[in-house]
């Protein structure tokens, strides 16, 4: 533990060298909760299997086998196309460029379709914004197309009980709605940020027909204060263009720009450019300081974290401003106190920022306009404008101002609104005063919703005109000024839905659209582009040629000049309005989670099963609480919450005024004392199947300030409220090489079991993570060299000699993962689930350690126990050339290929699980149940979570399955295959074209999903990018000393921490 390059921990128990963990680890598989679960009466009840049923199944099993053996092969019929669409070749994927848009969330994408159905989303490298990167939300969006709870057609909701009745046709709906409209009607369209210029045109047409129409736009996780401050200071109400790639020094006050803030895919790619170590001898990297209370994704990637209470943010920013102003010779403003430690650290940060003037950047997620004005002034003093912040190509990804929404609530209460149209927003859930909204909304005579699936606001509406899914729609988006992209349908409408824009055009009797046309909105859209976009370019002389190219590329960029003025603002006035720290004992910070946003992704099972990057929990929101170490191995947690020694945890009852919520608690390193944190977006009350009863809704605890802007923190009380019997946290499931103490000596846990000192497996110091400060990089390189030499020495003997020849020719697949580029965003985890048909198992199964993810991201802490740094390690099958799993399989279901792949053959596997026991990386997954109903026998098809159909059993949901990958059945092991289906496809392409294989032929799903390029896959025998990456002296193999000869290379984590800040 004393070695500074290898002192890592994953959580409380191993930091404390907890004997319970040692015992657990000594058994390799975490057993206690399973025993608990099996002895739990409720579980037996849930599975509804009693002894008699078991005998019945057994009887069925025998009978069924006889039937199967005696019965003839069923006749399969193939139905061909009458006229085959030109672009479809059965068995070959077709890609279409499109855009993912959900409120202000944006990503330019390529949609992979097979036989006409979208099955996977890839990033679009032509985009200047997302540059081919994606996020977990983008990857999961394809599953939402096949959501079984989508509206099947237009409908009417009426009566006390809000009963749904189908409308027979869209004409009926149009007639009823038009009957309620006249030219004097007061109409309000409620939206989140709208990125589409053509949709805005449609709004304008509607407003021309009905002049008393207003569009009210707000964002549930708001950046309104930035918009308002920029309007005041620069005359431009817009999110500026942040250039994280140009900043040497970044300070973020709560803005989680790598995870959730405004445009995380873009910012992560830009920021990581400044963090990759290209040349070890002249290593240079930027610095990032995160000022926050709970560990955010950005905070976990930061070099230093400064801990402040949520209420202290304004005061902290003023402190930073005053220090910078003093250094730069500007006017100071009156200041409130921040905690002494933060005060000292902020002064150091100020000096660093000033030293990096012109190359520094300060951002904040504060939703107080006055605070954002001070942030603007700080950036102005630092000379950020024109370098790290510009107003050309400014971002349009947050446009909403929720005070407008508060105004609307007042207006509706007075009965002044005749019709409200809800377009892609859910204010009855995600406003802090959602109940106020709901009662005011009831005063509106006619309420129409465009929602595609049921939500809280839609149930309050009178008419539902369901919108298409974005994969069924035409459309466009302008995520940054001048950077346009198109949305094109990749599948025919699954249900009788209609694009919302067409509904509006129909109600406004637009002369510009022919609703009877085959694709009316395509005509409208292309006309709009003909009139507006075509003239902006000179490359094409005819519009059809321009349109085709824009549609093919998915994006269209034009230069955009800044119209903003120089900074002007009264900082004294703004500073005077900034409040000091609150005096309450405990403050909570509500944050947007990386996976489910403000609740608009809360019904997506892939995202719900994706572990939170920091807490490593699934299916719900959890309360992060502080841990105090006494300087040695003993710890206490805040109010005894968080995990106990057996890995159980306790519910926490949160009380804020009249609002209460009870969620499980997790002890989190780096959580400030006397503060707690919890994610928003959970606890949806009216939501489609998968999102039901997941977590608790904390929006009601948010508050609104005097400007009508939402504040995402509160003063609360927290108390312990019983044990969580289904704590689904994947933190300790896959522990590698844990150390413990025996007779005063530090040993590895498996060393105790083996009892042989000096044996290969008994090294006390395992190579899992290497890390160093950038200033000490030379020492790290030496250390890695030394360790690898030692491993080489241990590894001179091999059990499998004589394969070198085979590996040396043809291909030898390998991967390189740059831990310095990995931000832990988990886009790869979800991409892997989508590509490889990895089943969703649900909370209960995750709790029982039955999670199925092939690619997990291990999160390790290192450094200062009170304020640690974090390193993320994507961990999947290492495709060891001396694989320990292969030689224990009694049926050779897992074996090695001449191309270096560790092959898993499902049809050969009999489920002994010896391989999983023998895998030192813990990457093998066992199908305890038939999670995707791959099997013939209904006896294997449990509904594990009490649902009618297991996730992925419905025929609609199954449309998302990748036909190139076998759907595994119960009783077999599965694991990462290095996307062998993509390898085979790439090889075939090269063979068919009669050429050598190149880098672009084979890319794994995790590699293409990664926004920062942390993962490189390729042929070790080739000369591509992988070859280059393998040369870095920072590379190492995980557990190299046990002689598994893995094919995945990691390069060490380098930080740029300033230790003085923690003094």
Partner 1 sequence: MNCHSDIRKGSKYGTGELYKIYASAGYNPIDGKYIDNYDNMSEKEVEKLFKSWIKANYEDEKGTDEDGDGKKEVTGKERIARMEREINRQWEGVRDYVNKPIEWIKIHNLPDHVYFNHAQHVSVGKVECQTCHGPVEEMEVLEQHAPLSMGWCVNCHRETEVQFKDNPYYSAYEKYHKEMKLDDASKKRTKVTVEEIGGLECQKCHY
Rounded least distance, CB 805 to partner 1, Å:
7
- Of the candidate residues 35, 67, 79, 511, the single one contacting partner 1 (CB under 8 A): 79
> How many CA atoms lie less than 13 Å away from 818 in the CB half-sphere?
27
By CB under 8 A, which span of 557-565, 677-685, 730-738, 896-904 interacts with partner 1? 896-904
Nearer to partner 1, 505 or 997 (CB): 997
H or E segment to which residue 894 belongs = strand 894-896
- Of the candidate residues 905, 912, 917, 945, the single one contacting partner 1 (CB under 8 A): 905
Rounded least distance, CB 226 to partner 1, Å:
48
DSSP codes of every residue in 537-556:
-SS-SSHHHHHHHHHHHSEE
- Of the candidate residues 49, 662, 895, 945, the single one contacting partner 1 (CB under 8 A): 895
1019 and 813 Cβ atoms separated by less than 8 Å: yes
Nearer to partner 1, 355 or 808 (CB): 808
Taking CB under 8 A as the rule, does residue 988 contact partner 1? yes
Give the footprint of partner 1 on residues 85-144 (CB under 8 A): 91
Rounded least distance, CB 161 to partner 1, Å:
45
Instruction: Give the pair of three-digit tokens for residue 584.
Output: 């309450």
Taking CB under 8 A as the rule, does residue 462 contact partner 1? no
Taking CB under 8 A as the rule, does residue 71 contact partner 1? no
Rounded least distance, CB 969 to partner 1, Å:
9
Q: Compute the distance between CA of residue 798 and CA of residue 794 in angstroms, rounded to an integer.
A: 10
- Of the candidate residues 780, 901, 1006, 1016, the single one contacting partner 1 (CB under 8 A): 901
- Beta-carbon contacts of 202 under 8 Å, excluding residues fewer than 6 positions away, are 501, 504, 505, 524
Rounded least distance, CB 934 to partner 1, Å:
8
Give the footprint of partner 1 on residues 771-810 (CB under 8 A): 805, 808-810
DSSP codes of every residue in 463-490:
EE-PPPPGGG--EEEEEETTEEEEE--S
Taking CB under 8 A as the rule, does residue 984 contact partner 1? yes
The 813-818 sheet, strands edge to edge: 1015-1019, 813-818, 1048-1051, 1035-1037
**Number of chain residues interacting with partner 1 (CB under 8 A):** 47
Nearer to partner 1, 91 or 744 (CB): 91
The phi and psi torsions of 874 (rounded to 5 degrees) equal -60, 125
Nearer to partner 1, 758 or 994 (CB): 994
Nearer to partner 1, 659 or 966 (CB): 966
The C-alpha torsion from 255 through 259 and 260 to 261, rounded to 10°, is: 30
- Of the candidate residues 560, 966, 999, 1025, the single one contacting partner 1 (CB under 8 A): 966
Q: Collapsing DSSP states into helix, strand and coil, what is residue 704?
A: strand
By CB under 8 A, which span of 12-20, 321-329, 746-754, 988-996 interacts with partner 1? 988-996
Taking CB under 8 A as the rule, does residue 1063 contact partner 1? no
By CB under 8 A, which span of 80-88, 340-348, 433-441, 445-453 interacts with partner 1? 80-88
Nearest to 764 by CA among 774, 785, 750, 778: 750
Q: Compute the distance between CA of residue 429 and CA of residue 434 in angstroms, rounded to an integer.
A: 6
Instruction: Give the pair of three-digit tokens for residue 515.
Output: 């609703």
Taking CB under 8 A as the rule, does residue 990 contact partner 1? yes
Q: Compute the distance between CA of residue 550 and CA of residue 534 in angstroms, rounded to an integer.
A: 10
Nearest to 1003 by CA among 835, 830, 809: 835
Residue whose entry in the numeric block shows the structure tokens 């450094």: 863
Rounded least distance, CB 463 to partner 1, Å:
37
Taking CB under 8 A as the rule, does residue 159 contact partner 1? no
Rounded least distance, CB 1017 to partner 1, Å:
16
- Residue 242 β-bridge partners: 389
Taking CB under 8 A as the rule, does residue 76 contact partner 1? yes
- Beta-carbon contacts of 458 under 8 Å, excluding residues fewer than 6 positions away, are 157, 422, 449, 451, 464, 686
> How many CA atoms lie less than 13 Å away from 766 in the CB half-sphere?
25
Rounded least distance, CB 990 to partner 1, Å:
5
836 and 849 Cβ atoms separated by less than 8 Å: no
- Of the candidate residues 94, 231, 866, 897, the single one contacting partner 1 (CB under 8 A): 897
1044 and 882 Cβ atoms separated by less than 8 Å: yes
Total Cβ atoms within 10 A of residue 791 = 19
Taking CB under 8 A as the rule, does residue 852 contact partner 1? no
Instruction: Give the pair of three-digit tokens for residue 43.
Output: 């579980």
Nearer to partner 1, 735 or 977 (CB): 977
Rounded least distance, CB 973 to partner 1, Å:
13
- Of the candidate residues 243, 530, 639, 908, the single one contacting partner 1 (CB under 8 A): 908
Nearest to 816 by CA among 565, 1004, 1058: 1004
The phi and psi torsions of 1027 (rounded to 5 degrees) equal -55, -45
Taking CB under 8 A as the rule, does residue 981 contact partner 1? yes
Rounded least distance, CB 850 to partner 1, Å:
22
Rounded least distance, CB 1022 to partner 1, Å:
8
Taking CB under 8 A as the rule, does residue 964 contact partner 1? yes
- Of the candidate residues 758, 907, 948, 1063, the single one contacting partner 1 (CB under 8 A): 907
139 and 111 Cβ atoms separated by less than 8 Å: no
Encoded one letter per residue, x for contact with partner 1 by CB under 8 A and - for no contact, window 490-519 reads ------------------------------
- Of the candidate residues 78, 340, 511, 535, the single one contacting partner 1 (CB under 8 A): 78
The C-alpha torsion from 723 through 724 and 726 to 730, rounded to 10°, is: -110
Rounded least distance, CB 70 to partner 1, Å:
19
Instruction: Give the pair of three-digit tokens for residue 458.
Output: 């839609």
Encoded one letter per residue, x for contact with partner 1 by CB under 8 A and - for no contact, window 546-565 reads --------------------
By CB under 8 A, which span of 371-379, 433-441, 946-954, 958-966 interacts with partner 1? 958-966
Taking CB under 8 A as the rule, does residue 991 contact partner 1? yes
- Based on the number of CB atoms within 10 Å of its own CB, is 676 exposed (0-12), middle (13-18) or buried (19 or more)? buried
- Of the candidate residues 366, 649, 903, 1049, the single one contacting partner 1 (CB under 8 A): 903
Rounded least distance, CB 813 to partner 1, Å:
11
Taking CB under 8 A as the rule, does residue 906 contact partner 1? yes
Q: Collapsing DSSP states into helix, strand and coil, what is residue 159?
A: coil
Taking CB under 8 A as the rule, does residue 73 contact partner 1? yes
Instruction: Give the pair of three-digit tokens for residue 148.
Output: 């079984």
Q: In 481-608, which ranges are E strands?
A: 483-487, 555-557, 587-591
- Of the candidate residues 27, 284, 552, 995, the single one contacting partner 1 (CB under 8 A): 995
Site residues (CB under 8 A) for partner 1? 73, 75-83, 91, 805, 808-811, 895, 897-899, 901, 903-908, 964-967, 977, 980-981, 984, 987-988, 990-992, 994-997, 1019, 1021-1022
């Amino acid at each position: 533990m004393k070695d500074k390059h290898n002192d890592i921990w994953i959580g409380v128990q191993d930091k404390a060298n907890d004997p319970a963990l040692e015992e657990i680890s000594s058994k390799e598989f975490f057993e206690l909760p399973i025993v608990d679960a099996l002895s739990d009466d409720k579980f037996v009840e849930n599975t509804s299997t009693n002894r008699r049923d078991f005998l019945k199944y057994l009887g069925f099993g025998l009978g069924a086998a006889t039937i199967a053996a005696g019965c003839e092969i069923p006749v399969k019929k193939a139905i061909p196309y009458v006229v085959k669409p030109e672009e479809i070749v059965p068995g070959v994927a077709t890609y279409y460029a499109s855009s993912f848009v959900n409120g202000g969330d944006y990503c330019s994408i390529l949609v992979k379709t097979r036989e006409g159905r979208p099955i996977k989303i890839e990033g679009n490298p032509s985009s200047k914004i997302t540059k081919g990167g994606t996020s977990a939300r983008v990857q999961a969006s394809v599953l939402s197309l096949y959501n079984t709870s989508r509206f099947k057609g237009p409908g009417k909701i009426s009566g006390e009980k809000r009963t749904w009745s189908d409308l027979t046709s869209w004409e009926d709906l149009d007639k009823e709605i038009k009957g309620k409209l006249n030219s004097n009607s007061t109409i309000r369209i409620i939206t989140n940020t709208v990125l589409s210029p053509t949709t805005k045109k449609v709004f304008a047409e509607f407003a021309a027909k009905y002049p008393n129409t207003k569009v009210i736009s707000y964002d549930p996780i708001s950046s309104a204060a930035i918009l308002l401050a920029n309007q005041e200071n620069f005359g431009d109400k817009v999110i500026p263009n942040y250039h994280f790639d140009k900043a040497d020094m970044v300070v973020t006050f709560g803005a989680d720009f790598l995870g959730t803030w405004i445009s995380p895919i873009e910012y992560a790619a830009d920021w990581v450019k400044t963090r990759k170590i290209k040349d070890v001898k002249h290593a240079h990297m930027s610095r990032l300081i995160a000022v926050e209370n709970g560990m955010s994704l950005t905070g976990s990637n930061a070099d230093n974290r400064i801990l402040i209470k949520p209420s202290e943010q304004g005061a902290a920013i003023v402190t930073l401003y005053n220090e910078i102003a003093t250094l730069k010779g500007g006017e100071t403003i009156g200041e409130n106190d921040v905690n002494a430690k933060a005060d000292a650290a902020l002064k150091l940060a100020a000096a660093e920022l000033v030293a990096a003037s012109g190359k520094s950047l300060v951002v904040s997620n504060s939703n107080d306009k006055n605070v954002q004005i001070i942030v603007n002034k700080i950036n102005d003093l630092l000379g950020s404008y024109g370098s790290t912040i510009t107003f050309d190509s400014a971002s349009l990804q947050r446009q909403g101002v929720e005070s407008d929404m508060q105004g609307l609530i007042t207006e509706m209460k007075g009965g002044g609104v005749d019709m409200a149209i809800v377009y892609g927003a859910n204010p009855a859930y995600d406003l802090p005063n959602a109940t106020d909204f709901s009662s005011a909304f009831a005063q509106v005579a006619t309420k129409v919703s465009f929602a595609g699936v049921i939500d809280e606001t839609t149930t309050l509406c009178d008419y539902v005109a369901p919108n298409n899914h974005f994969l069924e729609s035409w459309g466009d988006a302008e995520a940054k000024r001048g950077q346009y992209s198109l949305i094109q349908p990749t599948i025919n409408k699954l249900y009788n839905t209609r694009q919302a824009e067409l509904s509006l055009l129909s109600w406004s009797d637009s002369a510009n659209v022919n609703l009877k046309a085959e694709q009316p909105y395509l005509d409208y859209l292309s006309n709009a582009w003909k009139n507006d976009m075509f003239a902006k370019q000179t490359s094409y002389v005819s519009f059809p040629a321009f349109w085709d190219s824009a549609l093919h590329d998915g994006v269209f960029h034009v230069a955009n000049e800044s119209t903003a003025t120089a900074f002007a603002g009264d900082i004294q006035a703004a500073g005077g309005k900034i409040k000091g720290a609150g005096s309450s004992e405990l403050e909570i910070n509500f944050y947007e989670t990386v996976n489910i946003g403000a609740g608009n992704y809360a019904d997506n099972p892939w995202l719900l099963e994706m572990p939170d990057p920091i807490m490593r929990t699934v299916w719900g929101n959890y309360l992060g609480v502080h841990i105090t170490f006494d300087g040695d191995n003993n710890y206490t947690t805040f109010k005894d919450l968080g995990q106990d020694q057996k890995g159980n945890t306790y519910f926490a009852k949160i009380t804020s005024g009249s609002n209460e919520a009870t969620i499980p608690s997790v002890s989190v390193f780096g959580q400030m004392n006397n503060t707690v944190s919890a994610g928003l977006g959970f606890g949806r009350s009216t939501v489609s199947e998968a999102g039901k009863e997941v977590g608790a809704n904390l929006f009601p605890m948010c508050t609104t300030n005097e400007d009508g802007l939402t504040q995402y923190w509160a003063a609360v009380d927290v108390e312990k409220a019983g044990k969580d019997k289904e704590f689904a946290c994947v933190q300790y499931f896959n522990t590698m090489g844990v150390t413990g103490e025996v007779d005063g000596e530090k040993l590895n846990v498996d060393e105790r079991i083996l009892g042989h000192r000096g044996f290969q497996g008994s090294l006390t110091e395992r190579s899992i993570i290497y890390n160093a400060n950038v200033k000490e990089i030379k020492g790290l390189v030496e250390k890695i060299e030394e360790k690898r030499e030692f491993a080489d020495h241990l590894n001179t003997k091999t059990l499998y000699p004589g394969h070198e020849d085979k590996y040396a020719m043809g291909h030898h697949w390998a991967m390189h993962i740059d831990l310095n580029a990995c931000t832990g965003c988990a886009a790869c985890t979800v991409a892997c689930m989508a590509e490889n048909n990895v089943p969703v198992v649900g909370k209960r199964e995750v709790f029982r350690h039955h999670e199925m993810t092939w690619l997990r991201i291990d999160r390790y802490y290192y450094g200062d126990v009170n304020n640690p740094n974090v390193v993320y390690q994507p961990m999947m099958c290492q495709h060891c050339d001396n694989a320990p799993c292969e030689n224990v399989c009694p049926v050779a279901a897992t074996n090695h290929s001449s191309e270096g792949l560790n092959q898993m053959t499902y049809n050969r596997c009999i489920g002994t699980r010896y391989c999983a026991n023998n895998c030192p990386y813990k990457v093998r997954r066992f199908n305890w149940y038939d999670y995707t109903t791959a099997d013939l026998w209904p006896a294997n098809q449990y509904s594990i979570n009490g649902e009618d159909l297991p996730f992925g059993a419905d025929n609609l949901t199954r449309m998302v399955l990748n036909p190139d990958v076998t759907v595994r059945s119960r009783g077999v092991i599965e694991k990462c295959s290095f996307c062998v289906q993509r390898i085979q496809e790439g090889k075939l392409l090269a063979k068919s074209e009669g050429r050598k294989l190149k880098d672009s032929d084979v890319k794994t799903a995790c590699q293409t999903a990664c926004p920062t390029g942390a993962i490189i896959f390729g042929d070790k025998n080739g000369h591509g990018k992988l070859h280059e990456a393998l040369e870095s002296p920072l590379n190492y193999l995980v557990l190299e000393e046990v002689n598994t000869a893995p094919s995945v290379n990691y390069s060490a984590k380098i930080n740029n921490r300033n230790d003085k800040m923690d003094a």
